Amino acid sequence: MKQFAQLIKKLDSTNKTNEKVSALTEYFQNANDADKLWTIAILSHRRPKRPVNTTLLRLWATEISGIPLWLFEESYHIVGDLAETIALVLPTSEEHSEKSLSQFVSEIIELRTLPDAEKKKYLHDNWLALNYFERFVFNKILTGSFRIGVSQKLMTRALSKATGIDEDILAYKLMGDWTPEKTTYKKLILEQNEEDYLSKPYPFYLAYAVEDNFQEDLGPISNWSFEHKWDGIRSQVIIRNDEVFVWSRGEELVTDKYPEFQNFLKEIPNGTVIDGEILPFGKGEIGNFNALQTRIGRKNISKALLKKTPVILNAYDLLEWNGEDIRQKPFSERRKILDELIQKCNCNEIGLFLSETMHFGSWEEASAERDLSREKRSEGLMLKRKDSPYLVGRKKGDWWKWKIDPFTIDAVLTYAMRGHGRRANLYTDYTFALWDEGELVTFAKAYSGLTDAEFRQVDAWIKRNTLERFGPVRSVTPQHVFEIAFEGIAESSRHKSGIATRFPRILRWRKDKPIEEANTLDDLKALIPK
């Protein structure tokens, strides 16, 4: 535990990626295999099931600390993290435990099955046998995931440095539903596996947003191919060796979530990799992104859900053909093969569509098409140079996105909640309302878009203008108007306002506007595309 706690402390005490990677690399070079495996598991959000509910944890922590429960709750609201609060209020200890991480984890797993009295004794003994930081880490394993600014990607990079195994291969090895209980470090990480290569995706090519006056810089418009920028889940579908693999842009293997794509095997030959967008496709047309939310979150995809929210792949590009990597061929050539493939097969039947390419004689024409984006349920246009290769990562020059402007509306700040982590103890999570028959109705929450200085200003104002407190939430005097931007809008029965907005964020603080001039719910409804 000492070693693992030191690692977490190091990771937690730097903002520099290089230092995080080197701390992790060093750990992966020195820790024992069982600890390494659990570290990988914990950092990829595979913690053991919670053995004790948090109500009991709080209760026992207050008993040992000798403080009343209300005082614990108040402290928790201020600290903003349960594991941290428990570690702080417990009596000080300078002990170090010699037990390893994996030993602790196996005890925690076993703990689930024990009666409460024994759980309590176990926690009591171990809390007092650990110093503050070890105790914090122990509580984190007990209560939740580690959010310490270490992405799976960063961890994979460190593991790659420590083992000499290629990062992409490691990324694949770490996919899926393995648990440390069912495998070993050697088996999971070190052993060669032919299948490792079978499903390997290509890194995605991502575009930057166009810059001001981009039209002048891009040269003749005839060099450019246009497409709509579809609003779904960017994905790669791989067909190799009679198997289908679906990867999301987050480099997550999501094959199981989209069983529809197994049908590709009927029409698409082995050795094909298609880059495209997964889109909801109820009623034979592209649906709203909101419909996809139900598919993204679920672990088990039921038949009912498949029927209710079917999806298709709208293909953008072809990366592999006949088992050959064709990313260096010009875009127009890759598209030619892709277009032929899709046109000649029963592709609509299997849910494989083409993202149509367009060619314009002038920027005015292109701009007119972009204006149709909302109607067509796209986010704007993509510009791809006809002779461009398929590059790796986000690169400027050959591909650009020309998005439509977001929707905006002026709303009133009504509630605020303390943030977490970096923003603990600062009121940074806001609820916004619109007028509806003389009353303010909540329509969205947003917690980004202000500068740190503005957040501090709003935070100070909130603390002085609180009407009521509900735990970490405060209602505030309606006094400030903010312009809220969002990408999408749809009717929703789950929202009080009857409207769901997509990716709402604060565009600016309208200090110039009194609350009477904020928008109404009807103004918002008028934005829903017909």
Partner 1 sequence: MDTPLLVFNEKGIYCEQADVYIDAWRPVDKCIVTHGHADHSRWGHKQYITQTNNVPIIKHRLGEISVTGKDWNETFTINGVKFSLHPAGHIMASAQVRVEYKGEVWVFTGDFKTEDDGLAEIYEPVKCHTFITECTFGLPAFKWEPQAEVFKDINNWWATNKSEGRTSILFGYSLGKAQRLLKHLDTSIGKIYTHGAVENMTEVVREHYKLPETTRITRDISKEEIKGNIIVAPPSAHGSTWIRRFVPYVTASASGWMTFRGARRRRAIDRGFVLSDHADWEGLLNAIDATGCEKVIATHGYTDIFARYLREELGYDARTEKTQYEEESAEIDKKIENED
Applying CB under 8 A, which residues contact partner 1?
12-15, 65, 67-68, 70-72, 74-75, 78-81, 84-85, 88-89, 92, 420-426, 456, 459-460, 463-464
The length of the chain in residues reads 530
Neighbours of 455 (CB within 10 A): 20
In whole angstroms, how close is the CB of 11 to partner 1 at the nearest point? 11
Contact 472, 77 (CB under 8 A): yes
In whole angstroms, how close is the CB of 503 to partner 1 at the nearest point? 24
Residue 292 zone, left/alpha/beta (φ > 0; ψ -120 to 50; rest)? alpha
Contact 82, 143 (CB under 8 A): yes
Residue nearer to partner 1 on the CB measure, 72 or 289: 72
Task: Give the closest residue to 387 by CA, choosing from 497, 529, 254, 223.
Answer: 223
Residue nearer to partner 1 on the CB measure, 74 or 267: 74
SS3 state at 467: strand
Query: How does strand 407-418 pair with strand 481-486?
Result: antiparallel
Residue nearer to partner 1 on the CB measure, 85 or 255: 85
In whole angstroms, how close is the CB of 360 to partner 1 at the nearest point? 46
Long-range contacts of 95-99 (CB under 8 A, 24+ apart): 95/128, 95/129, 95/130, 95/131, 96/2, 96/130, 96/131, 96/134, 97/1, 97/2, 97/126, 97/129, 97/130, 97/134, 98/2, 99/1
Contact 426, 459 (CB under 8 A): yes
SS3 of 38-82: HHHHHHCCCCCCCCCCHHHHHHHHHHHHCCCHHHHHHHHHHHCCH
Distance CA 389, CA 325 (A): 11
Q: Which residue has the tokens 């050697």?
A: 186
In whole angstroms, how close is the CB of 511 to partner 1 at the nearest point? 19
In whole angstroms, how close is the CB of 418 to partner 1 at the nearest point? 10
Strands annotated E in 172-305 = 205-206, 208-209, 224-230, 233-240, 243-248, 272-280
Nearby residues of 268 by Cβ (< 8 Å), 6 or more positions away: 239, 274, 341, 345, 352
In whole angstroms, how close is the CB of 82 to partner 1 at the nearest point? 12
In whole angstroms, how close is the CB of 131 to partner 1 at the nearest point? 11
Residue nearer to partner 1 on the CB measure, 89 or 315: 89
Residue nearer to partner 1 on the CB measure, 80 or 380: 80
In whole angstroms, how close is the CB of 145 to partner 1 at the nearest point? 15
In whole angstroms, how close is the CB of 138 to partner 1 at the nearest point? 15
In whole angstroms, how close is the CB of 515 to partner 1 at the nearest point? 22
Residue nearer to partner 1 on the CB measure, 380 or 449: 449
Long-range contacts of 208-213 (CB under 8 A, 24+ apart): 208/394, 208/395, 208/396, 208/400, 208/401, 209/400, 209/401, 209/402, 209/403, 210/383, 210/400, 210/401, 210/402
In whole angstroms, how close is the CB of 374 to partner 1 at the nearest point? 38
Residue nearer to partner 1 on the CB measure, 14 or 183: 14
Residue nearer to partner 1 on the CB measure, 59 or 114: 59
SS3 of 115-172: CHHHHHHHHHHHHHCCCHHHHHHHHHHHHCCCCCCCCHHHHHHHHHHHHCCCHHHHHH
Task: Give the closest residue to 321 by CA, choosing from 256, 273, 367.
Answer: 273
In whole angstroms, how close is the CB of 462 to partner 1 at the nearest point? 9
